[in-house]
Structure 1
């Protein structure tokens, strides 16, 4: 059973985010239920991000503890892992340096976790999403998400998730060798071993509402993203989440989605 009070560590990897990081931090500071700490890992930024956050922390007078760590550029997975290793809270909430939380995000998720102590990992929707059905899957207010379902669609978006710190001991960390679709890899491993649930409420604003792919950041490299997704499918097969024939179907399904994305991006231009 969980205690009545759950402390939260917010982990934010940061790379050249001087235009967005302060808005991101403010969205955490303004939570109706505040976290124990904010752990920021600067992944070798070459702009003024690190100095900007240093100044912000120096002028902050509130109760939240800040941890600011700097490392040579090694990728977002390494940065997240370094942040999670430093986290002291009962729960870890992930956030990216160009995204923002709605003010009640932590409060709503903590309310769910307090009421359902069997939930190990909880995500939410973002950018106004609300799921009613996806193919043959009906979505309730709280919908369990399996590793198998994640092979078809990544329902968890990084800045929406919060999970028990014990997952780090039981499942481990992000695969630092995978630069694209790395979050999908981690979610599959976590959901293979734990009770993972989607809270069907939109509590996060990602990327200022930019398109989900082909716009900027790592997701703009569609070819590498597809390689990452195919690697995640192989992971699902190796873990026994799906059998051989379903794995082959998933590969074909993924390639069809990849072609569709290319067409959509070209039509956008």
Structure 2
């Protein structure tokens, strides 16, 4: 098996079918397994997934049931079950663009020194002139640990990474429910090379604003606590100096104030 697609799902009956269908559109069904982790849903998520399994007997789709433990634990449990060389994460309200996986798998096949490749999405707002272009690929740029300290370039649903390296760095912090991906990507970028595709690779949350609507990211206070926790972790691991930690702490707080202003003032005004 080439790629394992990990889909954590909590009360996703209205969106998960479109998410899974976008995996089928990758035109790599014979190389893909789909692992849905039902994270204690109380709606008809399991019924929807089972119906998809019945309708697609030639596709390998597995559903794992667990008590509600949060997205980090759900993703880790999915990876533990995975047999693919590469791991792709897909949130149950995100939709992949066609051939997203094929492009990324080809990139990792050709660039053995890269552990991870992510993609652009509406809302990222990346200034690609700040990143180093990977000369052999017109649309790919390298994202370093230093780049990642100042901006979150990687959204989980855009990412394809090598399973062995995910396991090596320890995966997601189990039980963490907000900003859990940030800590993983810090660990990956600190010790391995990571790339970002300039092309749009997903329809993020069916068009929702990154922190203005429903979903985990919309709880700005908990997201901020998660981000500050991540900074404390990499400081304790001696990945950043005390001076850099202090700077990043206040920089993160300033971004938090900006997000609150956008959510509470700008977005309601536009509606």
Q: Give TM-score scaled by structure 1 length.
A: 0.92
3-state secondary structure, aligned to 2:113: coil
- 2:4 aligned with 1:9: yes
Aligned to 1:117: 112
More displaced stretch, 231-240 vs 199-208: 231-240
Q: CA deviation at 1:172?
A: 1.4
- Say which of 253, 256, 260 aligns to 2:254: 256
8 A Cα contact 1:129 1:202, kept in partner: no
- 2:46 aligned with 1:50: yes
Instruction: State how 1:59-208 maps to structure 2 within 5 Å.
Output: 59-62=55-58, 64-127=59-122, 131-133=126-128, 137-138=130-131, 140=133, 141-208=139-206
Aligned to 2:235: 237
Instruction: Tell me, in whole angstroms, the C-alpha distance in 1 between the residues paired with 2:28 and 2:201.
Output: 14
8 A Cα contact 2:3 2:88, kept in partner: yes
8 A Cα contact 1:128 1:202, kept in partner: no
8 A Cα contact 1:31 1:105, kept in partner: yes
Instruction: Tell me, in whole angstroms, the C-alpha distance in 2 between the residues paired with 1:151 and 1:231.
Output: 13
How many aligned positions are there? 261
Aligned to 2:136: none
RMSD: 1.7
More helix by share: 2
8 A Cα contact 2:4 2:82, kept in partner: yes
Runs of 4+ with >6 A deviation: none
Instruction: Tell me, in whole angstroms, the C-alpha distance in 2 between the residues paired with 1:37 and 1:76.
Output: 19
Q: Give TM-score scaled by structure 2 length.
A: 0.91
1:33–1:139: structure 2 CA closer, same or farther, 3 Å change rule? farther
Instruction: Tell me, in whole angstroms, the C-alpha distance in 2 between the residues paired with 1:195 and 1:19.
Output: 37
8 A Cα contact 1:14 1:96, kept in partner: yes
3-state secondary structure, aligned to 2:196: strand
Structure 2 gap segments, 5+ residues each: 134-138
Aligned to 1:225: 223
3-state secondary structure, aligned to 1:120: strand
Instruction: Tell me, in whole angstroms, the C-alpha distance in 1 between the residues paired with 2:245 and 2:147.
Output: 12
Q: CA deviation at 1:48?
A: 0.3
8 A Cα contact 1:129 1:201, kept in partner: no
